[in-house]
Amino acid sequence: MTAPATLDAKLDEVARQYDELHGELMLPETSSDPEALKRLGLEIARLEPVVEAYRRLRATRAELAGARELRDAESEEELRAMAREEVTELEEREATLVDELKVLLLPRDPADDGNVILEIRAGAGGEEAALFANELLQMYLRYAGHRRYRAEVMSLNETGIGGVKEAIVEIAGDGAYSRLKFESGTHRVQRVPATESSGRIHTSTATVVVMPEVEETEIEIDEERDVRIDVKRSSGPGGQSVNTTDSAVRITHLETGLVVEIQDEKSQHKNKAKAFAVLRARLQEAQRQRQREADSATRRLMTGAGDRADKIRTYNFPQDRVTDHRVGQSLSNLPRVLNGELDGLIDTLITTDQAERLSALVDSGEAG
């Protein structure tokens, strides 16, 4: 079984690029240029898995050629039988490597390697929805801990009994966006609320939006012309003032009407920097959303990375079950999921996304 020539051509090109990057890395002038070192390091790390898999594929093919030659030679039947068995094993290994390489060669979202800004908002269900939003917040903070990501709550709007109306969290770590981007959408909880005396099961919702963090140079915002900035005293639950300085910052983007308010820091400067970071992420996400709308394969899994009309997952407490509706996967032991053990769900979403994108490439005639 041989991969199509076009796949080999792509792999040869990647291997050539990889060697060129290593050559550039060895140049004396590169060692004194931190930006060049960083750029080359990232590019080499991106191509390395492809090159290593391609090397394994070539080695497998060399073994396969030798085994086929022995199988077809005029030799003892016992040797030919052993060769036939080896050929079968090596053909299976070759097919697996070809499939692996096709996935590795899929177009990659440049944002996948970066950090995220994650927003959670209580939806339908009143106080119960706010309590559920807080549970989702804690779930993602625990997940970040499991993955050794750094998580910082940038903004938190709480209710009086432990609920959360809205939370904004920065999660930083290698590949954070690639894993968390599938969490965008509407999350639904089914359970008997603690405040429900009749024992009836209620359904409440919360929405999650996951956006890649954006560098200042990627989305430029002119403070004089593009936005209105208001400052006021920070307030806690119930509206009471929590400090005596005008540290809370509210930024309104004039063209789109987007509003971001951050008041968690005592420093107005820090709140302003965080608000601009969230605004840049929201503006870029609006651009990405428009680009994604034509991409049906990605859209089914990503739910538009924030399309709040799309129900993506249900947390059913009476049945101790979590169901992801995009892939039809259900897991028992709901407390483990809420404890941040999300990798089982996320891995399935990533694998399904890869399979759908590969299928789309094959249908368009681009894969091979």
Cβ-contact 118, 133 below 8 angstroms: no
The rounded distance, in Å, linking the Cα atoms of 346 and 307 is: 18
- CATH code that applies to domain 5-104: 1.20.58
Cβ-contact 71, 32 below 8 angstroms: no
Instruction: Compute how many other C-beta atoms are within 10 angstroms of the C-beta atom of residue 135.
Output: 17
**Which regions of the chain carry the CATH code 1.20.58?**
5-104
Q: Identify the burial level of 35 via C-beta atoms within 10 angstroms of its C-beta, where 0-12 means exposed, 13-18 middle and 19 or more buried.
A: exposed
Digitized pLDDT (tens) for each residue of the chain, 368 residues in all: 344 457 888 889 889 999 999 898 888 888 888 888 888 888 888 889 889 999 999 999 999 999 998 888 877 888 888 888 999 999 999 999 988 888 888 877 778 888 999 999 999 988 999 999 999 999 999 999 999 999 999 999 998 888 999 999 999 998 999 999 999 999 999 999 876 777 889 999 999 999 998 887 678 888 888 989 988 866 655 444 444 456 789 999 998 899 999 887 678 888 998 999 999 999 988 887 777 665 555 545 554 343 445 799 999 999 999 999 999 999 999 999 999 999 999 999 998 888 887 777 665 555 54
The rounded distance, in Å, linking the Cα atoms of 365 and 368 is: 8
Six-digit token pair at 341? 């053990």
- The DSSP string of 331-367 is EE-HHHHHTT--HHHHHHHHHHHHHHHHHHHHHHT--
- The DSSP string of 155-218 is EEEE-TTS-EEEEEEEEESTTHHHHHGGG-EEEEEEE--TT-SS---EEEEEEEEEEE---TTT
Cβ-contact 24, 38 below 8 angstroms: no
Cβ-contact 177, 111 below 8 angstroms: yes
Residue 282 has, within 13 A of its CA and on its CB side, a CA count of 18
Q: How many Å is the maximal CA-CA distance in the chain?
A: 93
pTM of the predicted model, to two decimals? 0.73
pLDDT value for 298: 53
Between strands 227-232 and 116-122, the pairing is: unpaired
The rounded distance, in Å, linking the Cα atoms of 342 and 332 is: 12
Q: Identify the burial level of 322 via C-beta atoms within 10 angstroms of its C-beta, where 0-12 means exposed, 13-18 middle and 19 or more buried.
A: buried
Round to the nearest angstrom and report the end-to-end CA distance of the chain.
13
pLDDT value for 81: 87
pLDDT value for 301: 56
**Which regions of the chain carry the CATH code 3.30.70.1660?**
110-355
Q: Which CATH architecture is the domain 110-355 placed in?
A: 2-Layer Sandwich (3.30)
pLDDT value for 215: 80
Six-digit token pair at 194? 């603690």
Between strands 248-253 and 259-262, the pairing is: antiparallel
Per DSSP (E only), the strands in the chain are: 116-122, 150-158, 164-172, 185-191, 202-212, 227-232, 248-253, 259-262, 311-316, 321-324, 329-332
